[in-house]
Structure 1
Amino acid sequence: MPDLPAPSSTGVRIAGDRYQWLVAWQGCVTAVRDAALHAPNPVVGVGVEADGVGNVDDVVLYRKTPPHTYMQVKYAADSSTPVNEDYLLKLSDQGGPSILRRLAQAWQQLTEDGTPVDLALLSNRSPDAEDPLISLRDSRTQLLVPKAAQQGPRSKKGQARGRWAEGADLSEEGLLGLLNALRFDLARDVMHLHEHLRMLMVATGLRFDEEAMHAGADWVARQVADGQRRLSLADIREAIRSLRLEVGSSRAVVSIATLKPDPMAEDADYAVDWVDRFEGDSPYVKRRPQAPATWAQLQADIEAAPYRMPPGTSAVAVSGSLRLAPAFAVGAAFRMVTGVDLAVAQRDQLWSSDEAYEAPLAPAVDEHALDLGQDLAVAVAVATDPTQDVLDFLREQQIPVSQLLLLRPRGGPKDNSIPDAAAASALAVGIRDLLRRACRAHPAIHLFQAGPMGLALLLGNRWNRLRPTTVYEDLNTQQLYEKAFVIDA
């Protein structure tokens, strides 16, 4: 790919505006979802370049009762300026107040009557890991406190607090009051923002393709151009209707992250974060838990999900990054007998367990005799053909199976062998129905998968009236596979 030219100042400004409109549209989607799911303190309106709120007017989330969320949105064209003391205390190019001073002024103005506030500096800039205070940021709360308040005035922290307090024109006590309200929502690069917004639109029952995301942002930009600085829930709903974005209903969210952090975790009704508990430094190589973490612990966390859903939940969206065995386990945790419609974004489609289909799609079957025991081995070959690897593993590990059934689409394994959600549901049912007959003479099933994550989720969701099933994960090592979960069926 050829090197791109450096963006012009106009290009950077346009990109920054676009970033802000996407953040505002995200707030709009949140308001719709909060109303649909009866959130306890919902977002009821969104301000964009709002009046009377000082320097935190870029995006405002107005809630039913305070604290409202006031965001200063800062976009950077590159990573040359991380968020640190120098960045926060530097005077503006015109010699005006620093970013921290402007945030402090807004905080003083908004809390003058005792009203609590939630402030956020939201940026695609990264936090400076070497900064005495920014390095103390809690990734869960995005706050610098309580760690920033620890240690005395002569410590590195204390000296930094003194410089920050002076730069903000606050006492040290006042600075800590500001830091109790100010979140540093950092490293929100454009791809991260798109991923978060995409899943939020999924969970709100909206179209979630690139065109839909930008249609929402364009609508926000038009409102700002027309002088409309506060967008009500009615305004947002009318925009969704006129843009033809609504395709379903809002869903509760289960976030399962094993490969990389899930931007949607903060909005999830139940979140499992196992990224740091899986082996490997890259999402591409993370395939199994790292001791002392175990598959059994992960299974317990996954199986707790249905019990953490809001009362009356009937529809759930799954977000996060997970391989096939965990996806199957999530589907099994929300099996159809629970009455929950389970869905996941598969590329630009929503694959749902309630998707209508004309008839079950029976897979083609290849049989391989092994005579190693009484159990049944099953390999689902949709994206690729894992036959030889599975046979080698079964023989090397002496798994007690009598035969291997290789189940594949009629057209053979390939990346696009499942064109849509209806075909995925039909194939999941077809596989289950075939195995209900095939497993009658076997006490247990050993399952191997090579296909899209959405199919693994739907297959787990349909996995009932079968046999206890050991689900294996592909390790891409000399051992080939590893036993991950045992699912009662």
Structure 2
Amino acid sequence: MKPLPAPSPTSVRITGDHYQWLIAWAGCLTLLRENAIHAANPVISVGVEADDAGNLDDVVLLRRTPPHTYTQVKYAVSSSTPVNEEYLTKPSPTGGPSILKKIARTWRTLTADGIDVDLALITNRAPDPSDPLIAVRDARTQLLVPKGAEGTERSKIGKARARWAENAGLSDTELHDLLSHLRFDLSRELPHVQEQLQLLMAASGLRHDGQAVDDGANWVAQQVRCGHRTITLEMARAAVDTLNLKTGPARAVLSIATLKPDPVAGEADHTIDWVDRFESSSEFTKRRPLTPSTWAQLQEDIEAAPAHLHGSTAISVTGSLRLAPAFLTGTAFRMVTGADLAVLQRGQLWSTSDTYDTDCDPTAEEHDIDQGEDLAVGINVTVRPKDFTKDVLDYLREQNTPASKLLVLIPPTGPKDGSLLDSQAANALAVGIRDTLRRATRTTPRIHLFLACPMGLAVLLGHRWNRLRPTVVYEDVRTAQGYEPAFTVEA
């Protein structure tokens, strides 16, 4: 592929504007979804280049009660200017105040009456890992404190704080207060923003393809061109109708991340962040909790999630998790509770409420073990049959698992990538698997469950896992023993 030519100033400006409209459209989605699910303190309007917001006027989310969110959006065409002290404290190109000083002035104005605020700098620029303060930014909260408040005046962090305070025209105490409210939302590349928007649109019950994302951003741009600096709930709802975006109900968002950070965690109604509590620094090799964290602690967090969603029954599960936690999430919101779960699977929204014509009964293979009275069950939708069955049998025999036999269930067309084309097919297979196991486990004390399937199917299965036996769910940990028990669920 030939390298692209350097972008023109016009191209940079247009891309920067589109970046801001995307961020504003994300605010509109929050406005729509929070009001639809009756959030406790919903956004009531979205300001774009709003009045009376100083230097943090690019996107403003006004809530029913404070804190409101004031955002500055900065787009860069290259990676030559990371976010660091130099970037934040240097004068503007015309010799005016620095970015930090402008933010500090706006913060003082917004909080003059003692009103709490939420401030954010959103940019595709990356953090400078060599900067004393930026390097201690908490990836979960995007704040520089509490670590940025540590260290003596003579330490590197202490000296950096002094320089920042002087540049901003703040005392040490005032700087600490500002940094307690100013989020540094960094490295938000365009693809990352678009991915977040697709997830938010899916959770909002809207079309979530690339064209739908662009349609939303272009609608925001049109409002700005027409002089509308405040987008109300009525305007956003009218836009959904005009753009023909509506596909289903708006949902509460449950974010569960164990492999990599969830791009919509900041918008979620409840968040379970275990990324730093799983082994390995690579999302591709994270398999099990990192000591002293345990599977039991993760189970407790997931099973407590319904209580944090204030009775919401339509729920979108976002984030990155392996099959055992995905299955457990489904069991935490079982069908008997009236919950409707949805998860994005390869660009499609798979919902437990999606209908289908007929159940899909799986093909069953039995393998004798004769080590006890339990039943081992392998659900294989994606792996070569011989490989999956051998791995599970080897584990069961090596661990002397008290099972009488291994029952392997596969789709009628056999296990392969893409064997489940859509949500309807996945739901039909989930029901077929459940009903098959109800018949096979009537006298079984316990089920030992091994999964090789799309994450979405694991959620759908867990959701329907009722009128079955107590179940031990295993995770493929890719160690010498192959699997390990993760969770035990009552069914």
- TM bracket (short chain): over 0.9
**CA distances 1:144-200 after superposition (whole Å, capped 9, x unpaired):** 345545555444344323322332234445444433442222222233323332222
Q: Secondary structure at the match of 2:21?
A: helix
Matches of 1:289 and 1:156, distance apart in 2? 34
Counterpart of 1:161 in structure 2 is 161
**2:421 paired with 1:422:** no
Q: Contact between 2:368 and 2:405, CA under 8 Å: does it hold in 1?
A: yes
Counterpart of 2:326 in structure 1 is 327
Structure 1 residues 271 and 67, CA, compared in 2 at 3 Å: closer, same or farther?
Answer: closer
Q: Contact between 2:30 and 2:267, CA under 8 Å: does it hold in 1?
A: no
The within-5 A match list for 1:251-270 is 251-270=251-270
Counterpart of 1:127 in structure 2 is 127
Tell me how far 1:105 sits from its aligned partner. Answer: 2.9
Q: Secondary structure at the match of 2:264?
A: helix
Q: Is the deviation greater in 330-339 or in 369-378?
A: 369-378
* TM-score, length-scaled by structure 2: 0.93
Matches of 1:152 and 1:373, distance apart in 2? 63
Tell me how far 1:33 sits from its aligned partner. Answer: 1.3
Matches of 1:135 and 1:280, distance apart in 2? 21
Matches of 2:158 and 2:195, distance apart in 1? 38
The within-5 A match list for 1:84-103 is 84-103=84-103
Matches of 1:199 and 1:133, distance apart in 2? 31
The within-5 A match list for 1:27-426 is 27-149=27-149, 153-310=153-310, 312-385=311-384, 386-426=388-428
Structure 1 residues 119 and 277, CA, compared in 2 at 3 Å: closer, same or farther?
Answer: closer
**2:482 paired with 1:480:** yes
* TM-score, length-scaled by structure 1: 0.94
Tell me how far 1:435 sits from its aligned partner. Answer: 0.8
Q: Secondary structure at the match of 1:263?
A: coil
Q: Contact between 2:89 and 2:167, CA under 8 Å: does it hold in 1?
A: yes
Q: Is the deviation greater in 369-378 or in 283-292?
A: 369-378
The letter of the residue matching 2:214 is: H
Counterpart of 1:18 in structure 2 is 18
Q: How many residues align?
A: 488
Structure 1 residues 6 and 365, CA, compared in 2 at 3 Å: closer, same or farther?
Answer: farther
Tell me how far 1:269 sits from its aligned partner. Answer: 2.7
Matches of 1:389 and 1:277, distance apart in 2? 27
Tell me how far 1:290 sits from its aligned partner. Answer: 1.9
Counterpart of 2:439 in structure 1 is 437
Q: Secondary structure at the match of 1:350?
A: strand
**CA distances 1:374-393 after superposition (whole Å, capped 9, x unpaired):** 22221111122322222222
Structure 1 residues 153 and 326, CA, compared in 2 at 3 Å: closer, same or farther?
Answer: closer
Tell me how far 1:347 sits from its aligned partner. Answer: 1.9
The letter of the residue matching 1:478 is: A
Structure 1 residues 371 and 150, CA, compared in 2 at 3 Å: closer, same or farther?
Answer: closer
Matches of 1:253 and 1:94, distance apart in 2? 44
Tell me how far 1:62 sits from its aligned partner. Answer: 1.8
Matches of 1:17 and 1:98, distance apart in 2? 21
Q: Is the deviation greater in 278-287 or in 63-72?
A: 63-72
Matches of 1:149 and 1:207, distance apart in 2? 44
**CA distances 1:375-424 after superposition (whole Å, capped 9, x unpaired):** 22211111223222222222333322222222111111111111111111
The letter of the residue matching 1:86 is: E
Q: Is the deviation greater in 6-15 or in 414-423?
A: 6-15
Matches of 1:107 and 1:59, distance apart in 2? 15
Matches of 1:401 and 1:158, distance apart in 2? 61
Q: Secondary structure at the match of 2:221?
A: helix
Amino-acid identity (%)? 61
Structure 1 residues 92 and 468, CA, compared in 2 at 3 Å: closer, same or farther?
Answer: same
Tell me how far 1:221 sits from its aligned partner. Answer: 1.3
Q: Structure 2 unaligned segments of length 5 or more: list them.
A: none
Q: Structure 1 unaligned segments of length 5 or more: list them.
A: none
